[in-house]
Amino acid sequence: MRIFVYPGSFDPVTNGHLDIIDRAAKLCDKLIVAVLKNRSKTPAFTMEERVSFLEQVLDGRGNVEVIPFSGLLVDFMKEHNATTVIKGLRAVSDFEYEFQMALLNKNLAPEVETLFMMTNIKYSYLSSSAVRELASYGGNIRDLVPEKIVDQIYDKLKAY
């Protein structure tokens, strides 16, 4: 069984993430969306909220599972018998950071591959931080995140 992992903060999940999830899920038997717990920065949404958003919008996708994780990604990969890390690339600006992470992970666990997918051009400008900023000022996020979670994002962030 071919198990891939798509790691991230998902603070919150965006249409850009969903596009990568749908495309990556076709390349493997099981895709684990791994939601990072221990960021140095405190996330805007709690782990429960980030996981709940993902579960709400992934409804009906049979081979995708959402699992929180803390610690090293390579340890999570081993624990779940996963072969491949999926990362989305939006622009050249993503490259340097992702290149470093892929090489660090390769050094820690040579058997783990990192597979990069180019984002859909529609979402190349999109990030969770842009969604948070827009939502906090009441800007329109309806094309940027799944409809199901739009109001939940406003409810939390407009109160700031």
66 Cβ partners below 8 Å, 6+ apart?
Answer: 32, 33, 35, 51, 54, 55, 58
Tell me, residue by residue from 110 to 149, as one string, x for binding to ligand PNS by CB under 6 A and - for no binding. Answer: ----------------------------------------
**Can you tell me the distance from the alpha carbon of 158 to that of 97, in angstroms, rounded to the nearest whole number?**
31
Question: Which entry of 90, 106, 136, 156 is annotated as an active-site residue?
Answer: 90
| 37 annotated active-site | no
Q: Is 41 a catalytic residue?
A: yes
Site residue total, ligand PNS (CB under 6 A): 9
Instruction: Output the residue with the shortest Cβ distance to ligand PNS.
Output: 8
Q: In DSSP terms, which residues pair with 108 in a beta bridge?
A: none
Q: How far apart are CA 54 and CA 36, in angstroms?
A: 13
Q: Does 7 bind ligand PNS (CB under 6 A)?
A: yes
Active site annotation includes 9: no
Residue 90 falls in the annotated catalytic set: yes
Q: Is 101 in the site for ligand PNS (CB under 6 A)?
A: yes
Q: Minimum distance from CB of 114 to ligand PNS (Å)?
A: 10
Which stretches of the chain bind ligand PNS, using CB under 6 A?
7-9, 36, 72-73, 101, 104-105
Q: Which residues are catalytic?
A: 17, 41, 90, 128
